[in-house]
Amino acid sequence: MSNAQILIVEDESTITESLQELLKNRGYGVAGVVSSGEEAIQKALKAHPDLVLMDINLEGDMDGVEAARQIHESLDVPIIYLTGYADKNILERAKLTEPFGYILKPFVAKELHIIIEMALYRHKKERELRELNENLEQLVAERTADLEESNNELILENKERKRIEKTLKESEERFRMISAAAHDAIVMVDENGKITYWNKSAERIFGYSDNMAIGKEMLELIMSKKLREDYSSELECFNAIDQYHLVGKTVELTAVGRDGTEFPTELSLSSINVNDKWNAIAIIRDISERRQMENEFRESHKMASIERLTSGVFHEILNPLNIISSHVQLLLMDVDKGSTAEKDLNSIREEVSRIEDITKDLLTFSKEEEFAAEGVQANNLLEKAISLVEPDMKLRNIKFIKRFEEGLPEITVNGDKLTQVFLNLITNAFDAMPEGGTFTVSTRRVMSSPACRTGREQEVRSKELEVQSEEDKISELQTQHSPPRRTGKLKRDSVRISFEDTGGGIEKENIDKLFEPFYSTKKEVVGVGLGLSESYGIIKNHGGTISVESKAGKGATFTIDLPIERRKKSKESYFPVED
């Protein structure tokens, strides 16, 4: 390394002069020449040489090894020892100063040059390595600091994520609790119309567990095939949930349960965006009981209006009728037998009686009449009623079919009143088949709906359904008896009596009017149109229901449900009921 400044520490002048000459000839500079250890330290600290040639044995109290140690601790400078002999102890001390080489006296110029160059080169590379190490350590320290900062940020993010997850979990748990406690069905549907959430009330209302419902198309699950056909144009729009016109509205919809029973519902539809995809939340309410209460209220209001009307009419008509009737009887006493006058007076008397009958029928219809009741067999009452009309049935070319279930329990009714209802329905069926046809009367026992079972019965039934395979469940439900038209949830076990004819049927717009007083679908009205209204009142007074299912041109079916176990009524009860 040319121009390197070298400090010479040597106490022999001859060697000093040789070293100076040799170093200059090789292109090195001499930073100084000293002969003692103390001088060497002072000169090194002042001149900062690139290399020190240090004689081990020096004059004075400090030898070269001690001087080299202090220079090494203060300065980063390579040291080469000059020695005339190699004492073991001295060499061990010299090693501690980390020298870059040893030269034995007398030395050869070439060897000295090689050792100096190697020492300078080695010192240079070590310095570069130290600088690299220092830079690397600095980079590592900086990177470590960055990693620690990132780690701290991750810790904070992780804490925040856990907090959010906890909040979300609590929110989801609250939603599940609210959803589970909700009386209405809550159903979530994805963009394809498939169910993704199905709460407990949905299970109760429709009869499907969440495992059976999730993944199915909602409208196919809760709507009958016929209803889907009727609403086909509406359903085509359902997949575009975000644009579906029913979103945000409440509509009434006829739904169908797992057992095939149709019932009215109220549907509220809203849409939400989940992961950039539109989903729908449907809240479905079974409004069967509300419909039934509304119908009962309308009927009650109607009956109250008719009662007020008939009471007034009866009061106003009765007095003149009595006067007319009295005068007719007096006149009959004065006319000749068989005369035209007698015939006219008898005709007047018959019309007066007819007016009285009409008025009494109105009072009977509008006022709840007291009557006695007893336990009877529905099949026996039907047999009695049918025997009265069977001859006329054959004359009208009507085929009669009986489908009576054996072993039906007794029902507590007034036999005469119920027979009157049976005869009324049978007569209406005959009138609907003037050219003949088939008339079917059937009876069977109907069990209360699953929604009305006790808690224990529900639990047992749930376990039974869990054990059954899917096919068994479907098969079981298909074989269960279910009404053709749902007119309110059954509250208790009943006896069902159905009258089915193959006549001309009833127009849809006329069905809801059938049980109204003075209404008739017959072209030639016989009587005053109170038959079905009176029948309705009798069945209602027995705690039962009467409904009709019909389509124009396809006959009609009237269905009566009478409770097996009568519930004790209030003091206005029409007949005694046992507890």
Tens of pLDDT, residue by residue over 93-119, are: 777 777 877 777 777 788 888 888 888
Among 268-277, 404-413, 431-440, the range scoring the smallest mean pLDDT is 268-277
Residue-level pLDDT at 573 = 37
Q: Is 39 helix (H, G, I), strand (E, B) or coil?
A: helix
Interval 564-572 mean pLDDT = 54
**Do the Cβ atoms of 97 and 77 come closer than 8 Å?**
no
Task: For domain 181-290, give its CATH number from 1.10.150.130, 3.10.450.230, 3.30.70.260, 3.30.450.20.
Answer: 3.30.450.20
Q: Which residue has the tokens 């009650």?
A: 300
Mean pLDDT of the chain: 76
SS3 of residue 247 by DSSP: strand
Q: Is 119 exposed, middle or buried (0-12, 13-18, 19+ CB in 10 A)?
A: buried
Fold of 292-365: Helix Hairpins (1.10.287)
**CA 419, 424, 427, 431: dihedral to nearest 10 degrees?**
-170
H/E segment holding residue 349: helix 340-366
- Fold category of 5-130 in CATH: Rossmann fold (3.40.50)
Distances (CA, A) of 477 to 38, 201, 468, 470: 114, 19, 12, 11
Q: Tell me the average pLDDT across 121-138.
A: 87
| Per-residue pLDDT at 498 exceeds 90 | yes
Q: Is 90 exceeded by the pLDDT of residue 497?
A: yes
pLDDT greater than 80 at residue 437: yes
Q: In the chain, which residues fall in CATH 3.30.565.10?
A: 374-448+490-563
Tell me if 575 sits within 8 A of 373, measured CB to CB: yes
Q: Which of 276-280, 347-351, 372-376 has the lowest mean pLDDT?
A: 276-280
Query: Average pLDDT of 11-26?
Result: 85
Sole residue written with tokens 């009208």 = 396
Residue carrying the six token digits 């005469």: 416
* 450/53: higher pLDDT: 53
**Listed ranges 386-390, 438-442, 483-487; the one with the highest mean pLDDT:** 438-442
pLDDT band at 456 (very low <50, low <70, confident <90, very high): very low
Peptide bond into 49 cis (omega under 30): no
Q: How confident is the model at residue 403 (pLDDT cuts 50, 70, 90)?
A: very high
Angle between helices 64-74 and 37-47 (to 10 degrees): 20
Q: Are 499 and 425 in contact (CB under 8 A)?
A: yes
The model's confidence at residue 150, banded by pLDDT at 50, 70 and 90, is: confident
Q: What residue spans in the chain does CATH classification 3.40.50.2300 cover?
A: 5-130
The pLDDT score that the predictor gives to residue 577 is 38
pLDDT band for position 313 (cuts 50, 70, 90): low
**Does this model's pTM top 0.85?**
no
Is the pLDDT confidence value at 575 over 70?
no
Give the integer Cα–Cα distance in Å for 280 and 138.
Answer: 58
Confidence of residue 440 (pLDDT cuts 50, 70, 90): very high
Rounded to the nearest 10 degrees, the angle between the axes of helix 378-395 and helix 415-431 is 30
Higher per-residue confidence, 58 vs 304: 58
| Residue 451 confidence (pLDDT) | 42
Q: Which two tokens stand for residue 331?
A: 């006149």
| Range(s) of the chain covered by CATH 3.30.450.20 | 181-290
Q: What is the mean pLDDT of residues 147-151?
A: 87
Q: How far apart are alpha carbons 307 and 359 in whole angstroms?
A: 11
User: What pLDDT is attached to residue 232?
Assistant: 55
H/E segment holding residue 376: strand 374-376
Rounded-to-integer distance, Cα 207 and Cα 223, Å: 13
Task: Report CA 189 to chain centroid distance, whole Å.
Answer: 8
Q: How far apart are CA 360 and CA 349, in angstroms?
A: 16
Instruction: Assign 471 a pLDDT band (cuts: 50, 70, 90).
Output: very low
In the chain, the amino acid numbered 239 is: N
Window from 100-104, 123-127, 440-444 with minimum mean pLDDT: 100-104
Residue 258 has pLDDT above 60, yes or no: yes
Cβ atoms of 422 and 487 within 8 Å: the answer is no
Give me the percent of the chain exceeding a pLDDT of 90.
Answer: 6
As given in the structure block, the two tokens for residue 407 are 């072993």
User: Does the pLDDT of residue 329 top 90, yes or no?
Assistant: no
pLDDT score for 441? 94
570, amino acid identity: S
The string over 232-260, giving b where at least 16 C-beta atoms fall within 10 Å of a residue's C-beta and e elsewhere, is: eeebeebeebeebebbeeeeebbbbbbbe
Q: Where in the chain is the domain with CATH 1.10.287.130?
A: 292-365
pLDDT of residue 435: 86
Query: What confidence tens digit (pLDDT) does each residue in 278-303 have?
Result: 777 888 888 888 888 877 777 676 66
* Span 420-435, average pLDDT: 87
The domain 374-448+490-563 is placed in CATH, from the list 3.40.50.1860, 1.10.10.1150, 3.30.565.10, 3.30.390.30, at 3.30.565.10
